[in-house]
Structure 1
């Protein structure tokens, strides 16, 4: 029997391509790496178990929907409808599933990560594995037939007796799915519930944006199935300050998205070998504010195209009911500003709005920092600008910056390409 290995799949958000981003803050960047890119680059090739046994860690990084670029790294114009409505998302799901099916052997571990629509991809792959298992090479010849039967719900296959376990699904700000036209969303794709945590997932982590305000970017939270979480199953969903890409990464100034990145790394480091020295050097070198006090973006009103703004619509996650009194908030939100300096600040929620909504007796619940997060907080703003300058009394080394927005699109066919 072959030695066990770990398969890690990283699914980026719409338009995101980590292979055309740089590891510095150079002004020619049109994209800055998301947290998906940054975490994927921090995975060590081998992890060693306590008994010394080596486990190979194999990474697949998958660029986002609509990220196709030419030889010079320029976006390829063309299939705007597919980009806008997320139709190509199905191909991303199939590709990720096929990678796992072709490489998995019994005893291997699987981890899936994603941001935005990439988060939806990662979660749907987990659900598909829970529904049909992982097909072998011969069975993959019938994969699309099985896929089609799930889509139509006509003669779908029975559930397999043995389903491969998934060690972890870690995602940032999952937003759904596929648009069937301008105003209708396809939910529960493949007749697999979007919001239900599959029973075969051992650890599930979801960092969610508190201050995203685009109506078409409402989050898809997880819930336990009808029987609740199974024994030993872990589900953590934590709200972070900032807009969509303040949580999943993508802005040049990434003081806010550093925090959910370090949180995710902290949660998975018990079973994934991560180069934390590298990872901490990807944090913002010259933060404008102390830890946790950076200003959020206003995603909707920073959008320059008025037609696009109209299509997205304004709806906060407090108005939509996604933020509830029993939500779990990141420790940094204790320090988050309540006086905002972004465009149209009254259209972005703060903790003052939550207190007004939930009443004066409401006491928020905060997730405590773990050891790595505490270390990052202690070193906040102390990193030298050099990409390789070591920290005092620490072994941390290396740098990079996050992924930014694709250029805004005036063509009406592209209006939803940032979903």
Structure 2
């Protein structure tokens, strides 16, 4: 969809922003886009006689455009937008950057430099600036890496930025006995008048003492006035990849056999969060099946106070983060994130402060919905388009050449920790992941919406995939008395082993008979004992932005009840819902 709304405070990947002189603290919002995504210059060239068109924007682009320049308390909301990998000039950057993730360190440095240039710490007269980090796909990996780096070393002073790479590598390799800290040698060589200090030798290279090592490291930076400690108001991401490393395009592997399946330097050994992050939100796709796109699910330590929420949506990786031609499913994850970042779903006991949250333009949802409908009418998507709330196309992303790397069904509630030495998954289940399932999944099941569909825009001769033709032929040759519908809890499906409990007598077929009880829905584990850490995944409550989007579909409006806490369950008859 070619959005026409202005980008508030929008800055390109290679731009910088000088500090804003203002009496009030400001909000610094870093938005890191996914691979090959560029809101500034994204253009899809025409092929086979078809005219070119603007690139379908990701949810990172769209949420940046929905932000106001300042909130109602006159705090500036300054947005730094960073294009994804493979969007630079030239074929090399497109193939190598987009296909391998090369340049991740540079992306992290650029986005982090924006914070260094603009962050104002607190003093007696002023609160500190607020930091928000958003991202999709590898951009989510970038955002989370920045968040972890800030937690470890704080916001470096400008005078320390020439040493960024040494400090960043020291952090990334903490606990690696083959990587002694490099920053201190360089810094003290250039400043011989200073007393040489570095973390205790017993902490260096010891994986069991990484926290002590980084605490000592940060204390030394603070003692030389090279950094300032800072908290992050929120990290909000769509479908982080990198649990196994940054995946490499299989075609590049075939062309360049020396390339590995993953860039192991960039992978998540530690998926935990700590108290320096106040809120952490992640939207995840149930139906992504590409093996390299294993999600990096967060877990929260027992003594951590971070408000963590991770919600599963119907759809593949780009259904959740956006960029498919049919944006219907991406819309759900977009407005969900807007509700989280706006503070609409915060705990009732938590008071609202403007600096804690992002303020959006409330008219944006109506505007992008109109643009969405118009694009459906102008596009070559087969009818009916749009299909209605939660019933848009869920694309099958397991197509050539990505299928060369293998397949793996996602496993909500069942992810395990990675071994800190090898990076391989262990049998130890993640704890305190705070996973939910979005209400649209239940609605999609009840509505009998379509299962996974082929992306014909990638079919030969437009793309390299012949899978849409194979699937079309298979459906024609296979007798089936029942129309296929979306059933994520099917055998070998992502929710296999989980049972939906929502007042329905049965979910064996769409539109099961309600039992007449309206209560919060949840998914209860019915599979093997010991296969999950938490036996229930609650259904997430819809916020006001989500309800506003749902209300454009009169059929959906009449099937979900909205209470003071949001959408709580099904009703048999229509009752008007809240809108913003």
Q: Shared topology, TM-score over 0.5? A: yes
Partners of 1:5 and 1:326 in 2: CA distance? 30
Partners of 1:60 and 1:326 in 2: CA distance? 29
Match of 2:566 in 1: none
Match of 1:410 in 2: none
Offset at residue 85 of structure 1 (A): 1.8
Deviation per residue, 1:133-157 (Å, 9 max, x gap): 0011112232222123234442376
Partners of 1:295 and 1:59 in 2: CA distance? 31
Offset at residue 368 of structure 1 (A): 1.1
In the TM superposition, what are the counterparts of 1:91-130 in structure 2 within 5 Å? 91-106=106-121, 107-130=128-151
Partners of 2:24 and 2:413 in 1: CA distance? 48
Partners of 1:381 and 1:298 in 2: CA distance? 28
Contact persistence 1:7–1:109 (CA under 8 A): yes
- State the secondary structure of the residue aligned to 2:91: coil
Match of 2:403 among 297, 306, 309: 309
Match of 1:89 in 2: 104
Deviation per residue, 1:156-202 (Å, 9 max, x gap): 7613476201111110000014359322442666xx85411242111
Contact persistence 1:277–1:395 (CA under 8 A): no
Match of 2:543 in 1: 370
In the TM superposition, what are the counterparts of 1:18-417 in structure 2 within 5 Å? 18-21=39-42, 28-29=52-53, 31-49=55-73, 54-69=74-89, 76-79=90-93, 80-106=95-121, 107-153=128-174, 154-155=180-181, 158-160=217-219, 163-176=229-242, 177-178=245-246, 181-186=259-264, 193-225=269-301, 227-230=302-305, 233-270=306-343, 271-283=357-369, 284-285=372-373, 287-301=385-399, 303=400, 305=401, 308-311=402-405, 313-318=406-411, 321-322=414-415, 327-337=435-445, 339-340=450-451, 342-343=453-454, 344=471, 350-352=488-490, 353=493, 356-358=496-498, 363=524, 365-380=538-553
Query: Bigger CA drift: 323-332 or 286-295?
Result: 323-332
Deviation per residue, 1:107-135 (Å, 9 max, x gap): 10000100000000001000000011001
TM-score by length of 2: 0.57
Contact persistence 1:39–1:279 (CA under 8 A): no
Partners of 2:52 and 2:554 in 1: CA distance? 24
Distance 1:355-1:56 versus aligned 2 partners, 3 A rule: closer
Unaligned stretches of 5+ residues in structure 1: 70-75, 383-393, 397-419
Contact persistence 1:246–1:257 (CA under 8 A): yes
Offset at residue 335 of structure 1 (A): 1.8
Q: Flag the structure with larger Rg.
A: 2
Unaligned stretches of 5+ residues in structure 2: 1-21, 44-49, 122-127, 175-179, 183-213, 223-227, 249-258, 344-356, 377-384, 417-428, 455-470, 476-483, 502-522, 525-536, 556-577
Query: Bigger CA drift: 319-328 or 94-103?
Result: 319-328
Distance 1:375-1:185 versus aligned 2 partners, 3 A rule: same
Offset at residue 355 of structure 1 (A): 5.8
Deviation per residue, 1:219-271 (Å, 9 max, x gap): 1011113x4422xx211100001111100000121110000000000111132
Partners of 2:413 and 2:440 in 1: CA distance? 23
Contact persistence 1:210–1:349 (CA under 8 A): no
TM-score by length of 1: 0.77
Output the aligned Cα RMSD.
3.2
Match of 1:4 in 2: 25
Partners of 1:86 and 1:184 in 2: CA distance? 9
Contact persistence 1:316–1:349 (CA under 8 A): no
Deviation per residue, 1:289-341 (Å, 9 max, x gap): 2211223100013x4x4xx4213x21111399449998410010012246526
